[in-house]
Chain A
């Protein structure tokens, strides 16, 4: 006769116990006693399964007369013993279970629970996944083209009818995209200027050409880095915010409400955000340029280049064409950031994770588009010899 017992932590009453014995008719008897609950049956459950497996050809009687309490876990264990596939003449039977627990046990059909759990709906195979991905890409492209068309039409309408634009929303978004972003843009531009100056000045000092660091910083920042870094920051900050805002509105059916009220979500939500971004990104770029160039000058003080000399050198190397070459990109960047942020928001699916996915996609696609657009500008400027 063997016995197993397990403690039920924090529960009053005798712990689950199992003893095995042989009956006079040759059947195996599993004697359960105590409290059969989910917290304490782990040990006796495994013990009972092992005893059952060790006697594949014998009749098994589960004697539950000593069971004081039986919860869903205890019932599951009894069902588990009952559902084991056994040959005829070696069946498992439960005896002596108190009537109130017997009634609960009889609610379940061991045969049904012997079948494997219904699997999740079949997952697609690799070929089907590729096909679906291609179809999704095609649908995305069509959506993108439709979105560009709708947005262009809505922007055109806004320019033709400025009094129809919700300027209050535009100014509010301007504050979020522009004013609220000033500290982070200032910090990153400042550090950019410092890093550029140090990285350039150390090797150039070997040739006695530290002063030309001013030319490098001036041209690199004004033509390229100022607008691009600002745009990437705004893509991470406001592009994600647009996607999350509009995505949440979609999940809450606010977009449906707009549509059924006859209000076009693109005019209502997208145009205001694009206008705000187009107004703010150029201003932030100018701000970033000034900070980065100035911080470069401050760094050069440690290389014995006076600030005035540095700024004079910057002014002599950077002309108006360079400034315009940098600034002309900024509205395009703004349209890309705001447009893709809003598009991803409008494409939000249902579920708690959908908004997060939209925000992530907005940032990733935004940055990819920014870099691609910057490359196109570089080629155009090269061809035009600007």
Chain B
């Protein structure tokens, strides 16, 4: 459902520096995400993946740098301009973050109620179709507490897609899921990327998911305070000249540092 393909990157991060208090986490990070690709942000714990995601979706302000979402800079955007940028993407949070007091249908319908002037039956139909896309149409009257963790994540993807954004940000979609459910979610992401042309930006460190769905990845590192690798995950595993990157992809333990 995306607009006509264009060669310009859909998300562009330029010279991003971010941190908390005196703790600098990312220094001068720059990269671009191409339209229609499944792009993954990898890295170990504390490498700044979540910080980067929060800055990209406008939850945190960076110390310096810009994040262009489909051409518009979200950093420093306010009011109407910010609202227009926020409508261009949807976000699925790690826990799903479905509203516990609403049914799945009401959760998905909420953005439509706020941003469109459609009558209720029309919004209901759109919401049901989004839930159908993620395979949950039959559960649309259920409360989030009545469905499993994997189903909650799928419903959260349906809610993120309610307004047909061109970009979906997913925070650790596989976290806490069994391998089968995780594989199902990967298949769903691939299918949505293929059929709807949605660009996915996914934060993850699940190797199985990375190999299954990523077109391109960047890898963050705590010591480097930025990107240490960028490219196709398989070529990075086999051919990266950075030992840290190869270890990550091969799940190898860091060798003991030589005694000082």
Q: Which A positions have Cβ atoms within 8 angstroms of B?
A: 10, 37-39, 41-42, 45-46, 69-73, 75-77, 79-80, 100, 103-104, 107-108, 112-113, 117-121, 350-353
Contact = CB atoms under 8 A, between A and B. Distances in A.
Contacts of A104: 1, 195-196
B53 interface: no
Contact of A118 (B3, B118, B141): B141
A311 B129 CA distance: 78
B132 A121 contact: no
Q: Interface centre among A37, A79, A120, A350, by most B CB within 10 Å? A: A120
B118 A117 contact: no
B101 A117 contact: no
Contact of B129 (A72, A118, A350): A72
A72 B164 contact: yes
Contacts of B128: 113, 117
A120 B140 CA distance: 8
Interface stretch (B119-127, B209-217, B222-230): B119-127
Given A73-B164, A121-B146, A351-B145, A112 B132 contact: yes
Contacts of B23: none
Given A71-B164, A76-B125, A38 B112 contact: yes
17 contacts: A38-B163, A39-B115, A42-B118, A42-B119, A70-B1, A71-B164, A72-B129, A76-B125, A79-B125, A104-B1, A107-B133, A112-B132, A113-B129, A117-B128, A118-B138, A120-B142, A121-B146
A108 B129 contact: yes
Nearest to B197: A100
Interface string B1-20: 10100000000000000000
Nearest to A83: B125
B256 interface: no
B86 interface: no
B137 interface: yes
A75 B129 contact: yes
A112 B128 CA distance: 10
A45 B122 contact: yes
A152 B55 CA distance: 52
Nearest to B121: A80
Contact of A79 (B1, B129, B138, B195): B129
Nearest to A39: B116
A118 B115 CA distance: 25
Contacts of B164: 37-38, 71-73
B42 interface: no
B146 A41 contact: no
B35 interface: no
B132 A113 contact: yes
Contacts of A70: 1
Given A108-B132, A117-B140, 8 more contacts: A37-B164, A75-B129, A80-B122, A107-B132, A113-B128, A113-B137, A351-B100, A351-B145
A113 B138 CA distance: 10
Contacts of B122: 42, 45, 73, 76-77, 80
Contacts of A46: 119
Nearest to A71: B164
A104 B126 CA distance: 13
Contacts of A38: 112, 115-116, 118, 126, 163-164
A107 B128 CA distance: 13
Contacts of A103: 195
Name the 7 nearest CB pairs between A and B, nearest first.
A120-B141, A71-B164, A76-B126, A72-B164, A76-B125, A351-B100, A38-B116
A15 to B, nearest CB: 13
Interface string B97-124: 0001101010000001001111100101
A113 B105 CA distance: 13
B161 interface: yes
A70 B116 CA distance: 15
Nearest to B191: A107
Nearest to A354: B100
Given A72-B161, A121-B142, A113 B195 contact: no
A41 B84 CA distance: 19
B130 interface: yes
B32 interface: no
Q: Interface centre among B1, B3, B103, by most A CB within 10 Å? A: B1
